[in-house]
Structure 1
């Protein structure tokens, strides 16, 4: 049984002994495939260190997070692009639009999002989308960019059934994480109406920690709690959830 965490910032743990323990708990829990999304230029060396230490388990994504889009976003993105060839790349992410914290740079967020989508399509790579309080804006950009090379994952999906259907109809996958274990998360009513072939698992570690560890820092080994809840909702075995979602991750990332 192999689990795939399609979205983890495990590289934020910089203490070597703690990071080693985090990774060991992953491997002990059969979470042996970890996809690492970049956030900004400052996160690059942290991510590269983890990739170097665990080349058989960690996979790189590069992108400028919408919350990191400010006046100097073009310069920030140029620093990220300059690191493109340091490690094999499997997606552009995490990118998108976030209107939860601040709407000041909406125009710049849209510009950065579109530019990175074009970048991904030119390399025939998937995108990993961060969307918070901005579904309509994100969906409009995707509609404007739609062609045979546009594909990817809606990271941390917590939306409505209508939104889920719009996403899957475009060929995108739903990234399901710790929110699925929350009593009032809402996903328990939506997910069973979506075929498991459209789902991938994630933690977004160290954020969005699943029950029973909610309130504490998340880690990729906790993906098994997400998988168990998904198995309950679909009324299948956790082994089947692991197999299907890992295959979905291989389809989208090509590895």
Structure 2
């Protein structure tokens, strides 16, 4: 579903961010993208989302190529940024979910159903600035899924969430995976998701340092400034996180 081949990326200022990145994500897979802060995770997600074009090399999403058809890639992907305040544009939950859509009976019903799935009906008409951080994160995810994407890209979805919020985020990841959605999820911390992912990709200095099933990768993540989950460090293998599935 997602293929990157010898991809390089530099910002217009000239700073090199990604170098010789090659990876593949199969349709319906849930893949963890991990690395220290500044390793290039957010930039890579933005490229896969079609927000940037590679400086060299190529990427493909569902057979649509970049460079070339970034618009086609954007039609297939939705990205939820780390900072929800940068992504929420509507004044209320209702306005944000209906933003850019004709206000038909079907559109309102679909938005209402999605809000119910994310437990946002109680704040349906509340100003978004009064929402908690976790509610804002859920609103961004609800808006992304309302578009019916083939690929969901999540940038640090567990950041800033409390225990119930992390538990709910895990549930939503599993639901999306079970529905056949392809997901690439970035994090600097493996603890909350390592038992859910099909594979891990470890970035270090803008390069893919490790990639493969968690069981093949976890022994080496410390070499790339990533802490393995506690259960792995204590010799217990990969255990379900305390929040459950």
Q: How does the TM-score come out when normalised to structure 1?
A: 0.37
Structure with larger Rg:
2
Q: Would you tell me which structure has more strand in proportion to its own residues?
A: 2
* Normalised TM-score (structure 2): 0.39
Give the structure with the higher percent helix: 1
